[in-house]
Structures are given as C-alpha cells and as structure tokens.
Structure 1
Amino acid sequence: MEIMSKFTNDAKKMLELVGGRENIVSFTHCATRMRFVLADDKKADVKGIEALSCVKGSFTQGGQFQVIIGNQVSMFYDEFSEISNMDGVNKQEVKKAAKGNMNLLQRAVANLAEIFAPIIPAIIVGGLILGFRNIIGDIKLLEDGTKSITEVYQFWKGTYDFLWLIGEAIFTFLPVAVTWSVCKKMNVDQVLGIVLGITLVSPQLMSASDYVSAVEAGKAVQYWDFGAFHINMVGYQSQVIPAILVGLVFSVIYRFLKKHVPDVISMIVVPFCSLVPSVLLAHTIIGPFGRMIGDGLANIIMAGFSSSAAWLFSGIYGFLYPLLVITGLHHSMLPIDLQTAATMGGIYTFPVVALSNIAQATAVMAFVFVNRKDAQIKEVGIPSFISGYLGVTEPAMFGVNLKYLYPFIGAMIASGIMGIVSRSFGVIANSVGVGGIPAFLSMRGDKIPAYILCILADIVLAFIITVILSRTKLKDYGNK
C-alpha cells in the first residue's frame, strides 16, 4: 500500500477534475496512459489535471481523453478504481464506447488503425530485416568499395539468404495478416480469414509484376477455364488495399449468413457460402478494383515525390505530418505506404516521418536544456525524448511539445526543412520501420549514409530552432 498510496491524493483530485463518476462512461489504461471516455469532454478541467504531480500531459484523440502518467500507470489505475468505486474495462470496450464521440471520418480512421495495429510489430521487424540485408548485401563496404560483405564472407551470404525467409513471410504474404485482422475486427471466423488471405498469395498464383512482364513479352498466362469465361491466375502478393476490401466483403457475407441461416446447418453453410463467393469475387471484381485504387494512390504519392517540385512536396509533408498525428489521420497513411512499397518498390514518406519523430524528440531535449534548472521538467522531459528517439513519440509530442507549443513548432519547422533535404538526397525506404533513430536501417542500402547525415542534421536543427523560439513571444503561448 505504501507504493500505491503515493497516488491517493492525485487519484481523488483526478476523479473530481474529470467531472466526477457521473461524467465517466468508461476507463482503462495502456502502457503509459489513463484512457477515459467521458460523457462530456468539456467538464474535464484539463489545466487542473495537468497540474497534478503525477501527470505528464494529456490529449484527446479517437474519442478518448488520455492522461499521460508514465510507467507506473497501472498503480495509478488501481488506486483510481478503488477511490472512484468503479471498475475499468479492457481497451477494446473503451474504443467501442469512444466511437460514440467520433464523427464518420474519425470512426473510419479509428477502424483502419485497429486493423493495422496488430500487424505493425511484424512490419517493423520486416523493415529492420530488409535494412540489415541492405547493409550486408547491397553496400560495397569491402575491398576498396568493390564488394559487399556477402560477396566476401559465406557466413553473411547465408545470413542474407536466411533472413529473406522472414522478410518474405512478412511482406509477400502480408495480405494473410490483413484479412485475418479484418476478420478479427469484424468478429467473424479468423481462421477463415487466414484461408481467405492465403487464396490471395497462393504459390499457384503469378505475382502482378510477373503478370505484367509476361503480357509485355507475349508469354502465355495461366488461367482458370470455366468454358464461357476464364479468370487469370494472378495473385495479390504484398497488396494491402485489395486484402482489406476482400476481408470486409467476406465479413459482411459471413455475418449476414450467420444471422439468417438456422443453427442446425450453420456450421456447414456459413463457412462454405461465405468463403467460396468471397474468393471468386476477390479474383474477378474486388481484387482488381482494390489493386486499381491502391496503385492509383501510390502513383499520386509517388508523383508528388518524383515531380520537379518533389523537394517542396516533401517539405510540406514533413511540416504537416505532426498535425496528422494530432488528428489521428496518420493511421490512414500506413496502408498507402505499404501499397506504395509493393507498387513502386519503395517509400518516400517514411524517411520524412522518421525525421519528424526525431525532431519532436529533439525539441523536448532542447526544452529540457532551456529549463534545465527545473527538476520537474527534467523528470518529464528526459524519458520523453529518449523514448522519442526510439520511435515512441507520444510522451514527447503530447506530454511536452503541444503543452508548451514552441517546441512543437520548432520540431515542425525542422522536419519541414529536413523533408526537403531528405528528398534532395533521394532517400527512399524499403519499408516502414522504427520511426526514430533506428529508421536508418529501413532505408535502401545506398541511401543509408545520406540518411544518417539527415538524422544528425535534423537533431542539430530541431535543437537550435527550439532554443531560438524559447526566446521569442511564442514561449508565452504555452500551457505553463
């Protein structure tokens, strides 16, 4: 009780400051934050809450009022539950309740985020693997810059080949994970979702790139012959948007049948009559349509980053990206990024995103430097910028930068400038990876040295700009 009692007073005050028990619809916690769904957000005294000694910041996102506590949030949660005489719920129930506070766009973004949340760790691992393979296999580091490590040492050649076993599983077969996650989100049979995904990437199917090459070369393409018509045996390897659409259609059919088919025959009829039509639609209508949408979005993004004004496009993207994070719209970029990687062979946006995250972390470091005599700011700021450099920017962005404003603006300016610099160097990523300093591992091998220079310049620039802004009138607009 001695450890928990340190939160007693703050928990009592927070209950009062969020508007009391009657204003709490539900609450839970995650790794560092208390998450509230409030009946009326306006009843929460944000300034009072952020003045509590245990609170490191707060923000509202996805219909939830989130209060940053830190690593001891579970202890605070237990104390709050006891004092409020209320039971918390799991995160899924809180998300469901929070949707009542969202508009249509916010709900769509939230649903998209929930589909991709379970997949992100695998995508990050895949990005790191591709980056490591680039370093040992693509960069000429040995024998006066004429040979790569894999060309000299058999052990590393074996490592390079072996790691593709994991990389292929993550990226080539990504639609399997997507259809599974859609089915999980829609609360339908997840194993059938996996089967559905496999039908999109089966070894029987030719990849889209091989199909284009075969058509251009005038070679025959295999197809299923139904007499009156035929369907080309072309897969959707690495394709995200077709997998999402197919998963959604399957889920709608499954739920409709589950509701209307009698229980006595449900076990047989529902799986068969939902899976078979979905696979047929996937290879005739939904898949080609989804690929067209995905390729179109990828082409638009790539057109911007490949145009004569690519430097400006990249700079604007870097400057505005933090605003996408605040609104939650950054979640909608992940499927487009993955589609771009599959269609175009690389991602121009992720290098800019990582530089934005690093700038946010550096702005906190500069803020701590400016206020180095304030012990409380050190306590909040140091863990925030360390975690930010490792790719977790929420404590930095929401706990410090937005609260005091000028560090947030300093980070935006720095990431906008570095977006221009990054594109000028032609930096491109193989895949999405860790959005902090380790992001250099996700870049194409020949661009890693240039990107490391970008990271160093980003840190210096964000630090200097934030310190300069601390001496302007902007410092008076923050929430002290």
Structure 2
Amino acid sequence: MSKYTESAKELLKLVGGADNISAVTHCATRMRFVLKDPKRADIEKIEALPLVKGTFTQAGQFQVIIGNEVAAFYNEFTKVSGVSEVSKDDAKVAAKQNMNFLQRMIAHLADIFTPLIPALVVGGLILGFRNVIGDIKMLEDGTKTLTEVSQFWAGTHAFLWLIGEAIFHFLPVGITWAIARKMGTTPILGIILGITLVSPQLLNAYAVAEAKEIPFWDFGFAKIDMIGYQAQVIPAILAGFLLTFLERNLRKITPNSISMIVVPFFALIPTVLIAHTILGPIGWQIGSFISDVVYSGLTSAFGWLFAAVFGFFYAPLVITGLHHMTNAIDLQLMSELHGTNLWPMIALSNIAQGSAVLAMIYINRKNEEEKQVSIPATISCYLGVTEPAMFGINLKYGFPFLAAMIGSATAAIVSVGSNVMANSIGVGGLPGILSIQPQHMMMFSVAMLIAIVVPFLLTIVFAKTKMNKFSFKKAQS
C-alpha cells in the first residue's frame, strides 16, 4: 500500500466518486479534475485534507493543489479510482462542458501562447544581455560599451541577434503553428502560413514607415502590397484561425481518396491571399490601436491610476484565468515599441503574493504544519509560480491576499511612473529583473523592494486587526 492510498481514497470520495469524474490529469503541482457535477465536490473537507494545500476552479477544471508530490499522488489516485489516465489536452476538451463562451475564448488564447512562452523568456533574456553589452557605456570613464572595446563581445552581440530575430521577428510562425496544433489541423500548414507572413522577399514591417516605395505583386487587374508582418500578433492569429476553419470544413466535404491533395491546396492558398489583402492590414490596425491605447494609458497623466488598477486586480485576474489575455497585449507592445511596460507589473504582482506568504511564515513561525505549506509556496511564488501561495495561503486567510494586492498596486505605480520597460515576457517573480531593459533595472529594483516590504508589513498589521477575520473564500461562498 502506498503512503498516498488513504488520501487518494478520501479525495475520491470528496470529489463525488469516480462516477462524477469526466477526466483527471495533473500538472507540476495540481490535480486537475473535470467533474460532471462540480457541486458534488465538498471543497471545505477537501481543503482540510493534510496533503491538500488549496483548491480553485479555472477553465472548467476543479484543481486541487498537492505540491511537488502530485505525480506520485496522481498515480495512486488513478489506481484507487479506476479512472482512466488522460492527457492534459483531453482534459481541456472535456472541461469545455463546464465553460461559457468567454471562458472558452480565454482558454483558446492560453493554449495558443503557452507553448510559446519558453521561447519568449529566452528571447527576453537574450535581448537584455545584448542591451547590457551593447548599449551601456560602462568602460573608459563611461564613454564606451563592451562591444566597442572588445571584438569578442562585438561578435557575441551580433551572434545573439540570430536567436533574438528568430524568436521575435518570426513570431507569427510560432503563432500560426500553435493555432493549427490547438485546433487539431495540420501543424506544417500553420508553419508555412507563418513563413508567408514574414518571408524575406516581403518588405520588413519595421521598414514600412520609412520606405519610399512599397513593392507589390502585379496581377494585371489588381496589385497587392508585399508587406511583411514580422512580430505582429493579431494578423497571425486571424490568418491562423482562417486556415484551420478552411481545413476543417474542407475535410468534411472532401472524399478521403483526394483529401491529401485538395484540402491543403484549397486551405492554404486562399488563406495566404486573404491574409495579405484583408486580414493582415486589418489585424495590423487593430494591434496598433490596442498597443496605442495601453501605452497611452500607462504614459498619460493618469498612468498612475491605470497602473494602480492593473497592479491591484492582476492577482484576481489569475483566479479567473483572464490574465492570459495580457500575453497578446505584451507581444503587441513589443512589436510596436520594442519592449513592454505591462509585463513588469505582472512580475511585481508575483513578488507581492510571495511576500504576503513570507509574512504568514513569520506570523505562524511556531506552527510547523503551516510552514510545510508556506515555505515552498513562498519559494515558488518568488520564482513566478503563484498558485500554491495564492490558493494555499493567501486566499485561505484573505487578508494576506488583500495586502499583496495593495503592495502590487503600489509597486506598479512606481514602475509605470518611472517608465520601466521589459524586453519581453520573462521569468516571473524575482528573476523578472533579468528581462528588464538595463537602463530601467535600478528603478525596477526599487519597485521590487516595495513589492516585498509593503505586503509583508501590511499582512502583519492586518493580522493584528479585525482584518484577520475576513476570508476571501468565505466572502465568495
């Protein structure tokens, strides 16, 4: 008998039994259930289990936070429950039965951008390093950069752009591939579509504004501008969904004997044509409008208010899953402004949540059982994974979550007020500073300090007042 057997049996009973489970899988720290009737799950008793660090529902899935032991626990749970093992993708498909239209749209966005995040993180670090060695005048009394005095660093600077360009300029290839993969169509067609949006024979998107003459394809009766969509997000999303729409519907009406020839041909060619004549220009305008609105809001006289609202409400957005929408906005800002002032606030929110838990460790320093949950949660939060901290500690008590939200808003005001910009989406939490543009690292460090100190002190203050009687979970129930 495994040490998890009894806990697995108890959890099975509390989620409503095997007949209430449509699908179950796990991620790095959580069991993820798709329940036929979510109301049958006894959340209060589940959270009282010694192994459970918290619960929440997101994207149609009831998620139980176990921690680093989740893989071993999951294996035992599937044995005692008799529920068949499924992949994360299968679980997401099953979860749609519990999702409304908005939740399904957000889930689609998350599935598109999540596979791209590792590349974007690497790209952000590379751009940051290139800025340090190529832009900061740190040598010869502050008159020269490393690349100006060293051929090695000059060569490194040039070489690293090979990777940076592949990640950011050719981002549409990743997006169209991710959409094809997500929608169950042919990934290679998505890749080819993406390449047609960034092909070297097209005028680079960054050169359009300064171009004296834009090349074009001449069909005699019509001309189409040969403009690329390097780093553009929305044109790639629109084109990717059109490709999958055409391919899926063509497969329904095309005989299997000729589908391998007919479907790719009549799905890809019309999509590329429409992408360059309609979807590309429209998507470019939409993307520019969104980035202009966000950037104008953050740099206007009321930028502090925008920052305060975003910083305060970002953590609650994580609970709903709406935070996935910020990935598209960040990428659009990067394509328009060569950086994003939105993402630094996300990193600060992660730090603030971890700091609130750090205060709870201090408050409950004599409680060994509490520390077993709080210490790992703090570490993971400071490294950018907030769920164990938020759902295992902060939402459980309520007042630490509020303290973290206030600290996040305060740090966000400082970040935006100092015009802090990140090169890219990066590693969340404390390592987030590695993605900040070098000239802004000092002020971001100040904002990080605020995100550590303010939630810590507020949590202790709230714990000594009537605020400690308030629980977000009780308020929501």
Instruction: Report the TM-score range of the alignment, normalised by the length of the smaller protein.
Output: over 0.9
The residue aligned with 2:73 is 76
The equivalent position to 1:271 in structure 2, one of 260, 264, 270, is 264
The residue aligned with 2:140 is 143
- For 1:441, the aligned partner's letter is L
1:48 offset after TM fit, Å?
0.7
2:115, 2:39 → 1: CA distance?
32
- For 1:81, the aligned partner's letter is T
Aligned: 1:232 with 2:225: yes
The residue aligned with 2:420 is 427
- For 1:331, the aligned partner's letter is H
The equivalent position to 1:133 in structure 2, one of 119, 122, 130, is 130
Aligned runs of 1:23-422 on 2, under 5 Å?
23-214=20-211, 219-422=212-415
1:81, 1:460 → 2: CA distance?
43
1:371, 1:151 → 2: CA distance?
54
1:145, 1:454 → 2: CA distance?
26
The residue aligned with 2:16 is 19
Please tell me whether the aligned partners of residues 29 and 77 of structure 1 are also in contact (alpha carbons under 8 angstroms).
yes
Please tell me whether the aligned partners of residues 412 and 447 of structure 2 are also in contact (alpha carbons under 8 angstroms).
no
4+ long deviations beyond 3 Å:
none
Secondary structure in structure 1 of the residue aligned to 2:424: coil
Please tell me whether the aligned partners of residues 231 and 283 of structure 1 are also in contact (alpha carbons under 8 angstroms).
yes
The residue aligned with 2:462 is 469
1:395, 1:161 → 2: CA distance?
41
Please tell me whether the aligned partners of residues 337 and 347 of structure 1 are also in contact (alpha carbons under 8 angstroms).
yes
2:65, 2:190 → 1: CA distance?
36
- For 1:202, the aligned partner's letter is S
1:33 offset after TM fit, Å?
0.8
1:187 offset after TM fit, Å?
0.9
1:191 offset after TM fit, Å?
0.6
Please tell me whether the aligned partners of residues 299 and 416 of structure 2 are also in contact (alpha carbons under 8 angstroms).
no
- For 2:460, the aligned partner's letter is V
Secondary structure in structure 1 of the residue aligned to 2:405: helix
2:313, 2:298 → 1: CA distance?
15
1:149 offset after TM fit, Å?
2.2
State, as a whole percentage, how many aligned pairs show the same letter.
56
1:25 offset after TM fit, Å?
1.6
1:474 offset after TM fit, Å?
2.0
Q: Deviations over 1:191-215 (max 9, x none)?
A: 111000000000011122311111x
- Structure 2: gaps of 5 or more residues: none
- For 2:252, the aligned partner's letter is K
Secondary structure in structure 1 of the residue aligned to 2:210: helix
1:161, 1:461 → 2: CA distance?
42
Please tell me whether the aligned partners of residues 432 and 442 of structure 1 are also in contact (alpha carbons under 8 angstroms).
yes
Please tell me whether the aligned partners of residues 399 and 462 of structure 2 are also in contact (alpha carbons under 8 angstroms).
yes
Q: Deviations over 1:376-422 (max 9, x none)?
A: 11111111111111111111112211111111111100010111111
2:448, 2:142 → 1: CA distance?
24
- With 66-75 and 261-270 compared, the bigger mean Cα shift is at 261-270
Q: How many residues align?
A: 473
Please tell me whether the aligned partners of residues 138 and 446 of structure 1 are also in contact (alpha carbons under 8 angstroms).
no
- For 1:357, the aligned partner's letter is N
- For 1:332, the aligned partner's letter is M
1:88 offset after TM fit, Å?
2.5
- For 2:246, the aligned partner's letter is I
1:336 offset after TM fit, Å?
1.4
1:453, 1:34 → 2: CA distance?
37
1:51, 1:424 → 2: CA distance?
43
